[in-house]
Structure 1
Amino acid sequence: MPGYSQRFGRHARRVAACLTLTASWAIVHISIAHANPVAAQQLPVTVPSIQRWTPDTGTAGFTLGTESRIVADGNSSEVAQRFAADLTRAGKPISTADTGDRPGDIVLRRGETAIPVAESYHIAITDRLTITADSPAGLVHGTQTALQWLRQRIALPGGTVEDWPDYAERGLMLDTGREFFPVDWVKARIRDAAYLRMNMLQLHLSDTQGFRLASTTHPEITSPEHYSAADLREILDYARSYGIEIVPEIDMPSHMNAILAEHPELVLRPARTTAQDAASDNTIAGGVGGKIDLTNPAAYQLISDILHEFVPQFPGRYWHLGCDEYVSDYTRYPQLSDYATKTFGPDAVPGDVIVGFANWAADIVESFGKTPRAWNDGFDHAGVLSPKPELVVQYWSSSAGGLPWFPGGRTPDEYTRAGHPILNAAFTPTYFATGGAAAALNAPPELLWVWDPRVFVNGQRLPESDRSLLRGSLVFVWCDDPTALTPEQIVTPLRARLPIMAQHLWTGTGGISYAEFLTRLANVSWP
């Protein structure tokens, strides 16, 4: 899967050298095409930077006092409660009220902001601190900006802030399919993302080591370490209260080891084996592979059962199907070629099987009102079929089965020309592997800083005409070796990267040096 297959191990030393060259290329050639973030010297710094600050020297400004309250109507009461808890945790205890604001209060309002961008917000700093947004997410972002200010000082100058993100999707992916992350740890990462005005958490819920949801239709596939129905509700409710959308991923039709361990009759078997098979992630203890046999009707029934059970349990707009790293050498699986021509016509090729699967599964997802997402590499070998244009493509590799930054697969603009929304999931530098051979290839934060979200892993920059289809990016945490780092040990490298991604996707890095950014981050600190 995009979490770096074990087949990369044999290339690690050679690729490390390639990565060094790639980093040098990026530093020299990638231009950051954002305007400088608004200089807000009279305000405490924020991460990410705000878009627009207009000081008002005729206004005395706002001071948080012991009698200050957060005043919000019923539509904003949950955001107010979270904000009050955040300030109290920061050593500034504050109460909430639903009417009657007065000087010294923080006022939360739902209403028009005159900024035609989703998640925008407006802050008026007078004798009150008034945060206005036309969406719950925008209101949360406004409170987190205010939280960063008030953690630094309680007196703010008069003026107005207008703020909005440059990209629609900004956040984090956690590979809890390989390494199980406890509920409280996941909630803490939601809190980190919200503090940086991010809005998305992708949960990779199944992989070689585990299936992390409690299934009632197929209880045999649930791993000992999993999220109960109550755990899931707790995570989803917490994320919603902070404006974070959960994107669930049950990776199919590959990386299904934990599921297929109980259904070995559905494993895709090669007609010939290679020496690599024993070391690849297509084999786990007991010799059960991780790729489901898409020529077997029972495979579709099992997957349909899983999708019908779990898709409705998540309230967000998206469902991630996986669709990565199924087969690269189709000569080893002649049954897929036979199935393709019988099912999709005489001109079909084996690679059409994965596209046919994706479209079939997407129909199920869409029947629940969700939009499907998938990794890009599964579609590189297609012939007569194309993935549904509404499917969001998370583009991580350009190689059609080789090392991610090598050519050979479909390019990003091939997807956008077909109408696909696309998320830049470039292996370098958005990925962080906690262990295994791929850990040697982790891009340092400095490389992430000079990256441009419009530049994909193959070096291509989307044409400006396709810019509206570029959703944004995430920091991807992959746990190839789930024993390499504990959840707490993952926090430090994650917190080194998440603020950089937030800065890129909200206002861009502009003229800020990396050293200056680190100073700002130190001033903001973590909640």
Structure 2
Amino acid sequence: MGLQTVPAVQHWNDDAGPAWVPTPGTRVVLQARDALPLGELAARLAGELGIRWSSLGPRWSSLSRPGDIELRLEPLAAQSAEAYRLTAGAVLTITAPTEAGLYYGTRTLLQWLRTGKPVRGTVTDWPNYAQRGVMVDVGRKYFSPQWLARFIENMGWFKLNHLHLHLNDNVGVGLECASHPEIVSEKHLSYAELDGILAVAAAHHVTVVPEFDTPSHAAAIVAAHPDLAITDRHGTVENDKLDVARSEAQDLVADVVLEWAQRFPGPYFHLGGDEFFAAPWEPEDHRHPLRYPSLTRFAEAATGAPATPLDGYVLYLNRLNALLRVQGKRARVWNDHIHPGIGVALDLDVDVEVWIRWNTSYPSARDLHDAGYTLVNRNGDHLYFVLSSDSVPAASGRKSAQGIYELWHPHRFMGAAGGAADLDLDPSVPVAGAVMSIWCDHPPAMSEEQVAGQTLDWIRSLSQQLWGSPKPAASYAEFSTLFGPVGLPPAA
């Protein structure tokens, strides 16, 4: 192995020059021009080193001397804004074009110091994928603000940068909502708590992506508004789905989406959209193409042409996308019901998160790319950590930390449901990144502490695959030997 960090660095020139050696007077130093943007990061690093070496004072200054660490905001000849260069000598210098790049350079330094290896040479490092994330299902299971803050710190330690919060599901809505408090779960995150979480995320360069999942997974909303449930062609009321052909349902969803969009500073908002229409194994009548007459009428009124419920569903998502576009947000949806070339088209500026392909008659990730959509890999065969009532996440195989490291890569999508096949896109096909999902199908299956502990190895494997650097080991077993030395981030 070379330099032992998680994820591994892209390139380390281990020259024979002098190693950087900290001294009792080591400081974090900045150029005067960088004091404002980098002061918080410099103070954080100084504090972390103070914890690591009690003899080092947590100080930062503007003039470097031997043993110091200098942070510099300067352009690099790299495609990624998150790139950095770490150069060891009498002074250790970390240079990057952005604060995020400098932050990642400091994570590499801290991990390096823990291994006990001399800090020498030059590291040039960058991520191959811009979006490197984890989803937490806070709609079905309450996670405390303290847990989420520590989870974000762990993400930053392993250079992951997107936290997707699945804020609602059939059993509840997990975030305060002033416009519709009647839909919110009794135990939920308040806006004050959210602000604290967002502050931690900003410090660790993690973008938090909210999701309001409709029109399905809406039982908690329908419980407060039973008149908004959809009715099928036989007159059967489905209490877990909103009838988004109704203006009242559209208005409620728009209220929540706009309110939450203004609470989250990041550029993305997830509109959900999964599991509304029947899956292939459901009864034939459930799969009838005209199952929801109200959506058919809604689409025909909007288009002035013959239409289907699928058209109404897509029109609904496009209307929400238009609202978000005005707010400067980019929408994203699950891929289940996105069928390029059939009926009304989903707006091309909506990102498609590809988790499923029910069978080969459904559009593949390649089809979605060819239609012009930006793809995020959410592979349900590899990246789903599920709290279940009848099983526990496996230690090996496709859905495991080992599987992510050995069997999956960011261009590997689901070929067909059930693990029958994978679909590998050509490396030249752009993929924005990938997000693993922590689904709380059975919330009591694990405590939040157990979730944190059992997902750590998944996160480590995911970080390596998404950073995209040369693997530090051929096997997961060998890769896992790094976990002890690298450890977890210093306590805040």
Tell me, yes or no, whether TM beats 0.5.
yes
C-alpha separation in 1, matches of 2:484 and 2:393:
27
Are 2:8 and 1:60 aligned? no
- Of 451, 460, 463, the residue aligned with 2:426 is 463
Given the superposition, is the C-alpha separation of residues 440 and 120 from structure 1 closer, same or farther in structure 2, using an over 3 Å criterion?
Answer: closer
Are 2:400 and 1:444 aligned? yes
CA RMSD of aligned residues (A): 2.1
Are 2:231 and 1:269 aligned? yes
- Of 434, 457, 476, the residue aligned with 1:473 is 434
Which residues of structure 1 form unaligned runs of 5+?
1-38, 283-288, 400-405
Q: Structure 1 residue 380: deviation in Å?
A: 4.1
Are 2:477 and 1:518 aligned? no
C-alpha separation in 2, matches of 1:478 and 1:126:
46
C-alpha separation in 2, matches of 1:83 and 1:68:
12
Are 2:272 and 1:319 aligned? no
Are 2:187 and 1:225 aligned? yes
Which residues of structure 2 form unaligned runs of 5+?
279-286, 416-421
| Residue correspondences, number | 464
2:243 maps to a residue whose letter is D
Given the superposition, is the C-alpha separation of residues 83 and 156 from structure 1 closer, same or farther in structure 2, using an over 3 Å criterion?
Answer: same
2:412 maps to a residue whose letter is V
What are the superposed Cα offsets for residues 459-480 of structure 1, whole Å, 9 maximum, x if unpaired? 2222344x22x01112210000
Q: Which residue of 1 aligns with 2:162?
A: 200
Q: Secondary structure at the match of 2:480?
A: helix
C-alpha separation in 1, matches of 2:108 and 2:99:
14
Q: Which residue of 1 aligns with 2:27?
A: 69
Q: Secondary structure at the match of 1:62?
A: coil
Q: Which residue of 1 aligns with 2:68?
A: 105
What are the superposed Cα offsets for residues 178-220 of structure 1, whole Å, 9 maximum, x if unpaired? 1011001001111111111111111111112221222222222
- Of 415, 419, 428, the residue aligned with 2:372 is 419
Tell me, yes or no, if the aligned pair for 2:113 and 2:119 is still in contact at 8 Å: no
* Misfit runs of 4+, over 6 Å: none
1:69 maps to a residue whose letter is R
- Of 497, 502, 506, the residue aligned with 2:467 is 506
What are the superposed Cα offsets for residues 250-304 of structure 1, whole Å, 9 maximum, x if unpaired? 1111112222221111111334489xx9xxxx6xxxxxx2211012111111111
C-alpha separation in 1, matches of 2:23 and 2:233:
74
Q: Structure 1 residue 420: deviation in Å?
A: 1.1
Are 2:85 and 1:126 aligned? no
Q: Which residue of 2 aligns with 1:29?
A: none
Q: Which moved more, 1:264-273 or 1:140-149?
A: 264-273
Q: Structure 1 residue 437: deviation in Å?
A: 5.4
Q: Secondary structure at the match of 2:485?
A: helix
Q: Secondary structure at the match of 1:53?
A: strand
- Of 416, 430, 439, the residue aligned with 2:383 is 430
Q: Secondary structure at the match of 1:456?
A: strand
Q: Secondary structure at the match of 1:255?
A: coil
What are the superposed Cα offsets for residues 294-319 of structure 1, whole Å, 9 maximum, x if unpaired? 12111111111112211111111111
Given the superposition, is the C-alpha separation of residues 427 and 229 from structure 1 closer, same or farther in structure 2, using an over 3 Å criterion?
Answer: same
Are 2:253 and 1:303 aligned? yes
1:518 maps to a residue whose letter is S
Q: Which residue of 1 aligns with 2:336?
A: 377
Q: Structure 1 residue 351: deviation in Å?
A: 0.9
Q: Secondary structure at the match of 1:339?
A: helix
1:334 maps to a residue whose letter is P
Q: Structure 1 residue 101: deviation in Å?
A: 1.7
Q: Which residue of 2 aligns with 1:286?
A: none
Q: Secondary structure at the match of 2:425?
A: coil
1:125-204 to 2 correspondences below 5 Å: 125-153=88-116, 156-204=118-166
Are 2:365 and 1:365 aligned? no
Tell me, yes or no, if the aligned pair for 1:69 and 1:106 is still in contact at 8 Å: yes
Q: Which residue of 1 aligns with 2:419?
A: none
C-alpha separation in 2, matches of 1:416 and 1:137:
29
1:390-405 to 2 correspondences below 5 Å: 390-399=349-358
Tell me, yes or no, if the aligned pair for 1:432 and 1:439 is still in contact at 8 Å: no
C-alpha separation in 1, matches of 2:140 and 2:109:
37
2:333 maps to a residue whose letter is A
Tell me, yes or no, if the aligned pair for 1:206 and 1:251 is still in contact at 8 Å: yes
- Identity, % of aligned positions: 33
Q: Structure 1 residue 336: deviation in Å?
A: 2.5
C-alpha separation in 1, matches of 2:446 and 2:404:
21
Q: Secondary structure at the match of 1:268?
A: strand
- Of 305, 313, 336, the residue aligned with 1:346 is 305
Q: Secondary structure at the match of 1:460?
A: strand
Greater length-normalized contact order (CA 8 Å, ≥ 6 residues apart) = 1
